């Protein structure tokens, strides 16, 4: 290959890498979010990745994301959003069948929705 072809390939690769990772996110899910708390019956002391569960942390439970993935969760109805870190698995399988896709901690949910609602419509983006 000549130098021009190699330079063009390197340029395209750089552009692809930048547009694929810097400042971009992709919608991966739309569905219902619920919240859970230390006070809920059956909540364990530790999360699935063995951290101590703390309902004032901005963390979440979701089945399909690796631990420590940062997600942007947006309330579809009011546009409020927040960033959470995956450290647990959930929602309960029976609730997933009903359309729930993520459990936020009590503190996290209260940033983007009203705790009394219990469920909100969200979109989730991976950062």
What pLDDT was estimated at residue 96? 82
What pLDDT was estimated at residue 1? 55
3-state secondary structure of 29: strand
d(CA 69, CA 33): 17
CATH of 26-126, one of 3.40.50.300, 1.10.1740.10, 2.40.40.10, 3.90.280.10: 2.40.40.10
Convert the pLDDT of each residue in 70-120 to its tens digit. 999 999 999 999 999 999 998 888 788 788 999 999 999 999 999 999 999
**Cβ–Cβ under 8 Å, residues 120 and 113:** yes
Please give the torsion angle defined by the CA atoms of residues 30, 124, 68 and 92, in that order, rounded to the nearest 10 degrees.
-30
The mean of the pLDDT values for the chain is 82
**All structural domains of the chain with their residue ranges:** 26-126
């Amino acid at each position: 290959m000549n130098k021009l072809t190699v330079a063009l390939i390197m340029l395209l690769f750089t552009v692809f890498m930048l547009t694929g990772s810097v400042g971009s996110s992709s919608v991966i899910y739309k569905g219902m979010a619920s919240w859970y708390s230390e006070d809920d019956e059956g909540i364990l002391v530790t999360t699935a990745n063995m951290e101590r569960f703390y309902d004032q942390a901005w963390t979440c439970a979701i089945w399909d994301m690796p631990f420590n993935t940062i997600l942007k969760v947006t309330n579809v109805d009011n546009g409020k959003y927040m960033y959470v870190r995956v450290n647990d698995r959930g929602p309960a399988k029976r609730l997933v069948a009903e359309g729930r896709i993520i459990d936020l901690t009590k503190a996290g949910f209260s940033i983007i929705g009203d705790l009394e609602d219990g469920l909100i419509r969200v979109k989730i983006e991976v950062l």
